[in-house]
Amino acid sequence: MTASLEHDDLANLFLSLGALQPPAELHGYAAGFVSVGGRISADAWLKHCIDLLDCETPDPEQSEALYAVYSAALDGMESGEMSLDLLLPDDEFDLDQRIASLGQWCQGYLTGFAMAGKQKRVDKQNAYSADLTEAISDIAAIAQVSPDEHTDEDGEQDYFAVCEYVRVAAMTIFVECNGGVQQEGEVNPPRLH
């Protein structure tokens, strides 16, 4: 979970907005968008949210909460400490609900990656490493997950392992597409070549 964002609070906000998408999908969208180098103003992000959520224009307080989703994704990616937290329901939810939310997060990630990636030149996209291409393929496969009855201890362990894989894959994609992350106190961040 993201420290300043709570899944339940955002779910309630989405209900009040009549949003058609879950919070996990919006956070995944933000993470995918920034992973490929997309940066956006608060007003432009709000337009993305309105389109993605298919909702009316939020009031200023709601807009601030929606922008916090983008900010949390960007901050988690840029921190240099692998601190991205996937915005998913807490452990109190059924495992099936959490698995479905992870799939929605991955779907949002792919959509955000594609939206920001459209701004890149095709030759740059073709230059992605085999590891990045594999990570995107894995995230796409996880987005298709359908929850079964995974109520045993192995199901919980598998869920946490897949969440960690997705988190690390998203960070790895970010590092490759953005040329690294700035470490604390660093003036010029390292570049991958």
What is the share, in percent, of the chain residues with pLDDT greater than 70?
84
CA 149 to chain centre: 25
3-class DSSP state of 59: coil
Q: Which band of pLDDT confidence, cut at 50, 70 and 90, is reported for residue 181?
A: low
Output the pLDDT for position 1: 40
* pLDDT at 112 > cutoff 60: yes
pLDDT average, residue stretch 127-143: 91
The region of weakest confidence among 4-8, 110-114, 175-179, 183-187 is 183-187
Output the pLDDT for position 127: 73
CB-based contacts of 74, cutoff 8 Å, min separation 6: 30, 34, 39
* pLDDT at 182 > cutoff 70: no
Q: Residue 99 corresponds to which tokens in the numbers above?
A: 């698995």
All structural domains of the chain: 7-178 (1.20.120.740)
* pLDDT at 45 > cutoff 70: yes
Output the pLDDT for position 118: 66
Q: Is 77:116 a contact under the CB 8 Å cutoff?
A: no
pLDDT average, residue stretch 123-142: 84
Q: Which of 30, 79, 75 is nearest to 52 (CA)?
A: 30
**Number of helices and strands in the chain (H, E):** 8, 0
What is the C-alpha R_g of the chain? 16
Task: Tell me the per-residue pLDDT of 51-85, one tens digit each, with 9 for 90 and over.
Answer: 999 998 999 999 999 999 999 999 999 987 778 99
* Rounded (10°) CA dihedral 48, 85, 134, 155: -120
CB-based contacts of 44, cutoff 8 Å, min separation 6: none
What count of other Cβ atoms lies within 10 Å of the Cβ of residue 151?
Answer: 11
Question: How many residues in total does the chain contain?
Answer: 193
Q: Residue 141 corresponds to which tokens in the numbers above?
A: 């496969």
- CA distances to 31, 39, 42, 121 from 159, in Å: 20, 30, 33, 36
